[in-house]
């Protein structure tokens, strides 16, 4: 009753921001993402009568009480589904440190779902795994399928799951994640999403989205990189306008974020095809084609306030692996 899984983080090109139903984590809009090759979580889960209570450990980091509660809640869902009542030990490892400010909930809940269902003796299909991962963290639903992924919002839990649009080798893109200096306490994406309706720009964002989703799918079909880039920038700005006009206002960007955005615009004027997207934090994701990776990397490292850069290729989704963490 022990299993280990590895799952990638993903970067949303069309973002999930706002829920129809908070308990079921049903989103207000469909979203599209790319799995990241170098940002991932490995998780080992064992159910055993030897454990008197659930244990959760993140190697090299201290798990918060909130994180532990969220993991235990997820184990309860899996216990209910499989009909077991045994307690579990969960050990996880992130390829990127928490201090980097990168969210690990997508890779974390995808890896936990895969490992815990297997350890509990369940044999679930990709769709069921994506639904279950979604209940842990919405964006985790997209870390189950391969490559470039769409999460259909759906009207019910059964309809709200992610599937692969294209395999990882479909398009040789790069996501360079810049880890920037950040001293502010972060508002979690779960908390921030509760405030979306307070922004008068949120309804405008939802109206724009179906068109933007159609266009981004067209950019993928035709591999039109400038079109893809333009759309992901518009989309990122739209999310942050909503955050900045929520009440209370949430500003995820800081001066380094802004410096990178300005630099990206300048580099494009000089002919370098690179675009940005930003999640619920100050780190900027730089999107480029494989041929431009070196040049973008060299340039971004020179920007003051950039602590680290993690280069990602499109990756497969979560899967079981044989090396246990304990
Ligand atoms: C900005 O998946 O972290 O990264 O379902 O409440 O856990 P919960 O939210 P979460 O939200 C992700 C927000 C985002 C955009 C995205 O990944 O789509």
pLDDT in tens, 174-192: 999 999 987 766 888 999 9
Residues 108 and 94 sit within 8 Å (Cβ to Cβ): yes
Beta bridge partners of 154: none
Q: Which two tokens stand for residue 299?
A: 């340039």
Residue 2, classed as helix, strand or coil, is strand
Say whether pTM exceeds 0.85: yes
Question: Alpha-carbon distance 298 to 306, whole Å?
Answer: 12
Is the per-residue pLDDT at 315 higher than 70? yes
Is the per-residue pLDDT at 151 higher than 90? yes
Distance of CA 224 from the midpoint of ligand 1 (Å): 26
Pocket of ligand 1 (CB under 6 A): 12, 15-17, 25, 31, 103, 105, 137-139, 189-190, 193, 279-280
**Percent residues over pLDDT 70 in the chain:** 99
pLDDT for res 306 = 96
Residues 122 and 45 sit within 8 Å (Cβ to Cβ): no
Longest dimension (CA), the chain: 63
pLDDT in tens, 22-55: 999 999 999 999 999 999 999 999 999 999 999 9
pLDDT for res 182 = 78
Half-sphere exposure of residue 163, counting CA atoms within 13 Å on the CB side? 9
Distance of CA 51 from the midpoint of ligand 1 (Å): 32
Q: What is the dihedral of CA 117, 119, 123, 125, to 10 degrees?
A: 40
Half-sphere exposure of residue 28, counting CA atoms within 13 Å on the CB side? 17
CB atoms within 10 A of CB 304: 9
pLDDT for res 99 = 66
Residues 254 and 182 sit within 8 Å (Cβ to Cβ): yes
Tell me the residue ranges of DSSP E strands in the chain.
2-14, 19-21, 26-27, 31-48, 55-58, 87-94, 148-151, 162-166, 173-180, 274-278, 284-289, 306-312, 319-321
Tell which residue, 227, 237, 175, 229, has the closest CA to residue 204.
237
Residue 289, classed as helix, strand or coil, is strand
pLDDT in tens, 72-126: 999 999 999 999 999 999 999 999 877 677 878 999 999 999 999 999 999 999 9
State the DSSP string of 106-158: HHHHHHHHHHHHHHTT----HHHHHHHHHHH-GGGGGGSSSSEEEE---SSGG
Residues 99 and 52 sit within 8 Å (Cβ to Cβ): no
Nearest atom in ligand 1 to 14's CA? 18
Nearest CA residue ID for atom 3, ligand 1: 189
Residues 93 and 59 sit within 8 Å (Cβ to Cβ): yes
Most informative mutation of 26, 36, 139, 151 for ligand 1 (most atoms within 8 A of CB):
139
Most informative mutation of 34, 135, 162, 280 for ligand 1 (most atoms within 8 A of CB):
280
Is the per-residue pLDDT at 220 higher than 90? yes
Nearest CA residue ID for atom 6, ligand 1: 190
Distance of CA 88 from the midpoint of ligand 1 (Å): 26
């Amino acid at each position: 009753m022990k299993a280990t899984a590895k799952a990638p983080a993903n970067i949303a090109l069309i973002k999930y921001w706002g829920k129809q139903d908070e308990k079921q984590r049903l989103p207000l809009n469909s979203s599209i993402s790319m799995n990241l090759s170098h940002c991932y979580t490995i998780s080992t889960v064992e159910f055993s009568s030897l454990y008197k209570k659930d244990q959760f450990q993140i190697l090299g980091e201290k798990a918060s009480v909130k994180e532990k509660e969220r993991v235990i809640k997820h184990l309860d869902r899996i216990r209910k589904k499989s009909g077991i009542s045994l307690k579990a030990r969960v050990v996880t490892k992130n390829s990127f440190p928490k201090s980097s400010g990168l969210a690990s909930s997508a890779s974390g809940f995808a890896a936990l779902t895969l490992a815990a269902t297997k350890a509990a003796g369940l044999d679930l299909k990709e769709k069921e795994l994506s639904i279950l991962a979604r209940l842990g963290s919405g964006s985790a639903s997209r870390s189950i399928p391969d490559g470039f992924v769409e999460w259909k919002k759906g009207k019910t839990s059964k309809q709200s799951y992610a599937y692969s649009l294209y395999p990882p080798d479909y398009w040789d893109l790069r996501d360079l994640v810049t880890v920037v200096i950040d001293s502010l306490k972060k508002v979690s994406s779960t908390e921030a999403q509760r405030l979306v309706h307070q922004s008068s720009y949120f309804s405008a964002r939802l109206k724009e989205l179906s068109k933007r989703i159609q266009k981004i799918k067209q950019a993928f079909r035709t591999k039109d990189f400038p079109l893809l880039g333009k759309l992901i920038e518009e989309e990122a700005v739209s999310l942050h306008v909503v955050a900045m006009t929520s009440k209370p206002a949430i500003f995820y960007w800081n001066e380094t974020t802004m410096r990178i955005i300005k630099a990206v615009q300048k580099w494009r004027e000089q002919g370098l095809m690179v675009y940005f997207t930003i999640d619920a934090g100050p780190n900027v994701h730089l999107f480029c084609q494989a041929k431009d990776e070196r040049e973008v990397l060299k340039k971004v490292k020179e920007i003051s306030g950039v602590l680290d850069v993690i280069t990602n290729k499109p990756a497969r989704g979560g899967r079981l692996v044989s090396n246990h963490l304990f």
